[in-house]
Amino acid sequence: MRKVVKDLKNIPASLVSQEAIDSLQNIIDTRNNDLIKSDIYRGKYLKANGNKGDEVVEKLAKIYHGKCAYCEERTLIYIEHYRPKGRVQKAKHSGYFWLCYEWSNLLPTCHECNKIGGGKADQFPVSNKHLTFDDCLTNNQKIDPVKVNAAYLNSIEAPYLLHPEIDEPKDFLAFEIDANKNGVSMIGIDGIGGRGDKTISICNLNRQPLLLNRLDYINDYVNTKIKKIFAKLSKGRISKETFREDMKELFQELDNQKMDEKRPFTLLRWFVMESADNFHKLAISNLPKNEQEVALAFFKAYKNGTL
């Protein structure tokens, strides 16, 4: 998960169309969640060439670079209602039906992060109370545009699930080599049972494929390249000065990659390069001890600008 900026004023046309307005009023009048139209919250439209498109899906895919809002893997985009539109699991709440077409409530996710059984689905635990439709009305019983915004709602409900457009994931999440050395785990850093831990649990962010895919990034883009540089030095194919230059070039490449939001695992790439301790534990801990010491010393020199 990474912090994302979404223009809440640049709302897809389908979400503010007359059809959306009429549909929402019908849903509110009847309190019938079954009347929610996926064609509206997906933004179905007909392209000039006659093919069908999904405006909301396309906008979210562009904003999130085709990645899931939660796990940051590239994916076929599914529309996720941050606050469940139908019901709320383990709560006496019929769902946030009035937010079904609310732009700040819509996120792009992969199937695995949002599926029923093993994903978020309709989970939405809060530390305060779940707000109801009546809580979001003005004095004259109209929907208050301020009170349907996700940031306002979060300030009142204090949900455990992080919202990538509101929260800074760096304050809640970190990474470590899995205890069984089966991959790279995500961990919460805001206390046991805090929002980091809860978000990981709700979206199942330590499922086995994710552990392995994160480890593949570490191995393919960091560890393997460092090993190759050491191998060239040990075989006498490069000088010590060229070794230094190659290491510096690699660190610069990794720094550039951590800024590239189009790549998967933005937060992990940032985390690896954030400190010598992170780099040591995640990127080079499986190297021979003498190579670990050299690589770590070069990394520290790079970070303080003396390499």
Which neighbouring-strand residues pair with 44? 54
| Nearest Cα residue to 272 out of 304, 231, 232, 303 | 303
In three-state form (DSSP H/G/I as H, E/B as E, the rest C), the secondary structure along 46-61 is ECCCCCEEEHHHHHHH
pLDDT in tens, 241-291: 999 999 999 999 999 988 899 999 999 999 999 999 999 999 999 899 999
* 37-62 mean pLDDT: 94
The region that residue 181 occupies, defined by phi over 0 for left and psi between -120 and 50 for alpha, beta otherwise, is left
pLDDT in tens, 105-142: 999 999 999 998 889 999 999 999 999 999 999 988 88
